Amino acid sequence: MDHGYAYKPDVIRHTTDDHAKGGVSVANLNQMELQNLRELIGSHETASNKLQSYAGQCSDPQLKQMLQQSAQSARSTRDKLISFLK
């Protein structure tokens, strides 16, 4: 059954390619795509904050580094997603 809110990864991939070429604006996104984008941004923000917090509590240097790198990756992805809203 189609409820009209199925996740479509190709939308984000397509949007990413178009944005890199300067062809996408917020005006080109429908409300569902915009909401999905906002949710992805929030999820990456939450993941980054949690990973950074876990890294701060970690005593194992290798694990701490891995968590910090993962937190940075989540922040980087969040920032890229935010750029689609500009």
Express each pLDDT in 12-42 by its tens digit.
444 444 445 555 566 777 889 889 999 999 9
Question: 3-state DSSP call for residue 70?
Answer: helix
> Is 58:67 a contact under the CB 8 Å cutoff?
yes
**pLDDT mean over 39-55:** 97
Residue 45 to residue 77: CA distance in whole angstroms: 9
Residue 81 to residue 38: CA distance in whole angstroms: 8
Burial of 74 (0-12, 13-18, 19+ CB in 10 A): buried
Asked whether the whole model's pTM tops 0.85, one would answer: no
